[in-house]
């Protein structure tokens, strides 16, 4: 695929002051250079950041092609956020309104951080849950695995934040989880 700059349909969340909570909560962990980046256009830099975080967080079979990323960025009310430290990508969040199911459901497509076990993902997700409640969503949904290839228990991470398993597909190893907001 030939790369072209892509304009993201920025949702109403982008300028919400709630996102400062993530920045403030991450400063003690990552330092004063923490910034949140909400791209308005999708550039080669953003693709590079996405790939860098994705490669440190997921095995190759779980990574997205450029076309799959573009498809997700065109979803209704997309929220694409990068967490950077001194201009270097540290984490990302990608989610959108779950079409075809209910406009009341926010789908968390991707949350990933480079540094594991420091509470960064929990901080990001906790603020995202507050934001989703504020925006009037009734549920948050995501897909994950019981554990990743390194044995990290992914489903229990989400269960500790109140998510419940609503579907299991043993054939592909997928777990759908939902949180009532």
Q: What's the rounded Cα separation, in Å, for the pair 19 and 103?
A: 22
The whole-number pLDDT of residue 74 equals: 84
HEC profile of 27-86? HHHHCCCEEEECCCEECHHHHHHHHHHHHHHCCHHHCCCHHHHHHHHCCCCCEEEEEEEC
The whole-number pLDDT of residue 155 equals: 86
**Domain-wise residue ranges, the chain:** 6-180
Instruction: Return the DSSP state at 170.
Output: T
Largest CA distance in the chain: 45
For residue 89, pLDDT over 80 is answered with yes
For residue 12, pLDDT over 60 is answered with no
Q: What is the pLDDT of residues 100-154, one digit of tens each?
A: 666 689 999 999 999 888 999 999 999 999 999 998 899 999 999 876 767 777 8
Between 13 and 165, the more confident residue is 165
CATH code: domain 6-180 is: 3.40.630.30
């Amino acid at each position: 695929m030939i790369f072209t700059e892509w304009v993201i349909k920025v949702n109403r969340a982008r300028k919400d002051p709630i996102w400062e909570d993530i920045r403030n909560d991450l400063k003690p962990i990552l330092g004063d250079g923490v910034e949140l980046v909400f791209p308005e256009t999708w550039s080669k830099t953003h693709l590079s950041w996405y790939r860098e975080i994705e490669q440190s967080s997921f095995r190759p079979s779980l990574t997205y092609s450029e076309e799959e990323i573009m498809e997700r960025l065109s979803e209704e009310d997309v929220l694409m956020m990068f967490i950077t430290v001194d201009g270097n990508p540290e984490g990302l969040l990608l989610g959108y309104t779950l079409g075809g199911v209910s406009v009341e459901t926010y789908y968390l497509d991707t949350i990933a951080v480079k540094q594991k076990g420091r509470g960064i993902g929990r901080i990001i997700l906790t603020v995202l849950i507050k934001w989703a409640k504020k925006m009037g969503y009734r549920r948050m949904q995501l897909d994950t695995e019981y554990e990743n290839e390194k044995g990290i228990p992914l489903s229990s991470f989400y269960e500790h934040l109140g998510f419940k398993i609503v579907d299991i597909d043993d054939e592909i190893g997928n777990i759908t989880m939902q949180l009532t907001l």
